[in-house]
Chains A and B, each alone.
Chain A
Amino acid sequence: MTQIPLSYPTGQGAVAVKRAQAPSFGAWGLRFIALTYLGAFILVPLIVIQVQGVRFGLDVFWQSITRPEATSAILLSLYTSAIMAALNTVIGTLTAYVLVRYRFPGKRLFNMLIDLPFAIPTLVIGVMLVLLYGPQTPIGRFFDTTLDIQILFAVPGIVLALLLVGYPFVIRAVQPVLLQMDFSQTEAAQTIGASAWTTFWRVIFPALRPAIVTGALLSFARSLGEFGSIIVVAGNIPMRSQMGTVYVYTQVEAGNLQAASSVSMVLLLIAFGVTVGIDLLKWRRHA
């Protein structure tokens, strides 16, 4: 796996029968360490959130979920993440295509910069956006007064932050597939008479589809949990610009554990479901 962080589960049947089967108790020790590590750090929080979500009773859960602030927060998260994923799919695919297909000055530097959102703390990403698009900046003021669009502290700002955070996902998922692609297929299409667009749409794109879908889904799931940039960039006004994660944060700070639990559980379940879905797709393809 050469791109980050889109590493996928490596499928079943990893152990070839021909490997040395020398018996060792050390193997059991290693397994215990690994499983405890995963169990303690991942399984435990998963279970904790799920249990905490329903432990006060299902009707309490339902009540806290259906409170308008909670519902609106969850929906806002879903809505903005979906927009971001859709935009990112198109832009990411095109960017990957450009990176693989063409030579241009500064290409290596650009390829390096793609990983920037992974390396920068998300909070700092938020700070960066505020400094460029905030209401006191030229750009922000322009959009606000002239076009009557509020960027920061509103939905556009949120989507902007999510786009930044999720930028590398689709690109890094699609790039390796393109790199390994056999050029002879596109050449064959061209000799048959297909235009560049047809070649792309009917020969290249179908082969990329699984990678694109995976990248898009992963960026979607990631965005549902995004906090660092959102807390700076979103207005956090309940019912209008408060995201699910920020809602959880404010509820925890205020001590409303029931509200925090239920929304946490829902967000987590959705993200977890998406991840499992990606894995299932991957295994079915490899089966």
Chain B
Amino acid sequence: MRETEARSPVAIALIIGVLGYAALLFIAPLLAMINGAFAKGLEPLLATFQDPSVIHAFQVTLLLSFAAVVINTLLGLTTAWVLVRHRFRGRNLFDTLVDIPFVFSPVIAGYAMIVLFGRNGWLAPPLFPIVFAFPGILLAKVFVSLPFIIREVQPVLEALTPEPEDAAYTIGASRWTTFRRVVLPEIWTALLYGIVLTFARAIGEFGAVTVISGNIEGYTETATSFVFRALNDRNNTGAYGVSVLLCLFSVVILIAMNALRGRIIHKEP
């Protein structure tokens, strides 16, 4: 469908309506939050950002989110490849599974982890604690952000014609070399897009982490759980300040998402 200039009153009304709704729905709250963060002035805000527990919470969040991205990239790429290129019974079932984290409440996921790895859990770990520690948080982040890379890469892989890869094989390139030099450049943009989404989701994860991490300050607190605790402690400046910072991250991620999305659209034949 081609773009047209909006001329009729109906068109203008629609545009205003749609934009107005969006403004009310989230632009206004966004502005309200920024306002709230600066409500008591710049100094308390800066103090928040220099608070060691805040810094630590961010470190935990970023580190574990990054780890989740790495895990989901390697395993997600493999999974996308297998789902597209392999044929086996149950393939469709596994394909459906990939969508589950979209609708699986993180709270319930956290609860499942407690059932599995908690003190009296089914797989109570002998060596190191999982639930109230880093591994648990990492698992939660991997879980909630699992589908993105797979779902972004799958359609691009499917659309690839077989000839270039077959050509590479006859030329003498191994399967790995062919993947690296022929396939990867084709899926690169979609992969990057998926990585950005994964990262955003992992950073923002809250429900599972809250249930399992026990919120021990200074050890397993993430940025989001800090906000939650700050709200409960009536530390509004802290809560709003960290929220604004998280939003900042999100906006950067958003810009990256859109730059990549534009490239994906333009590449489509």
A258-273 CB contact bits vs B (8 Å, 1 = yes)?
Answer: 0011001001100110
Q: Are A127 and B240 in contact (CB under 8 A)?
A: yes
Q: Which residues of A contact B (CB under 8 A)?
A: 1-5, 7-10, 12-16, 18-20, 22, 24, 26-27, 30-31, 33-35, 37-38, 41-46, 48-49, 52, 91, 94-95, 97-98, 100-104, 106, 110-125, 127-129, 131-133, 137, 160, 163-164, 167, 178-179, 181, 183, 186, 196, 218, 221-222, 224-228, 231-232, 245-246, 248-249, 252-253, 257, 260-261, 264, 267-268, 271-272, 274-276, 278-279, 283
Known: A100-B3, A252-B211; 6 extra A-B contacts, CB below 8 A, are A7-B148, A19-B166, A38-B94, A52-B112, A128-B243, A252-B110
List the A side residues contacting B148 at CB < 8 Å.
4-5, 7
Contacts of A110 in B (CB 8 A): 19, 22
With known contacts A1-B152, A15-B86, A115–B6 Cβ distance under 8 A? no
State whether A131 touches B107 (Cβ < 8 A): no
Collect the chain A residues with CB atoms within 8 Å of residue B139's CB. Answer: 41
Q: Which of B105, B116, B142 has the most CB of A within 10 A?
A: B105
Is there contact, CB below 8 Å, between B4 and A102? yes
Contact with A along B96-111 (1 / 0, CB 8 A): 1111111111111111
Find the B residue at minimum CB distance from A9: B95
Q: Which residues of B contact A (CB under 8 A)?
A: 1-6, 8, 10-11, 14-15, 17-19, 21-22, 25-30, 32-33, 35-36, 75, 78-79, 81-88, 91-92, 94-116, 122, 139, 142-143, 146-148, 150-152, 154-156, 158, 162, 165-166, 169, 175, 190, 193, 197, 200-201, 203-207, 210-211, 223-224, 227-228, 231, 239-240, 243, 246-247, 250-251, 253-255, 257-258, 261, 264-265, 268
Contact across chains for A37 and B75 when beta carbons are under 8 A apart:
yes
Bound Cα distance A24, B30 (Å): 53
- Bound together, the chains give a CA A11 to CA B14 distance in angstroms of 36
Nearest CB to that of B101 among chain A residues? Answer: A42
The distance from the CB of B187 to the nearest CB of chain A, in whole angstroms, is 12
Specify the chain A residue showing the minimal Cβ separation from B19.
A110
Provide a sorted-by-A list of 29 A–B residue pairs whose CB atoms are within 8 angstroms: A2-B268, A4-B152, A4-B257, A7-B150, A8-B151, A9-B95, A9-B98, A10-B155, A15-B84, A22-B169, A34-B75, A38-B79, A95-B18, A95-B22, A103-B3, A116-B26, A116-B250, A117-B26, A121-B246, A123-B224, A123-B228, A127-B227, A131-B29, A137-B32, A179-B1, A228-B224, A246-B107, A272-B100, A275-B100
A118 to B265, CA, bound (A): 20
Of the candidates A27, A33, A100, A252, the one having the most CB atoms from chain B within 10 angstroms of its own CB is A252
Task: For residue B203, give the distance in angstroms from its CB to the closest CB of chain A.
Answer: 7
Given contacts A119-B257, A120-B246, A122-B204, whether A221 and B211 have CB atoms under 8 Å apart is no
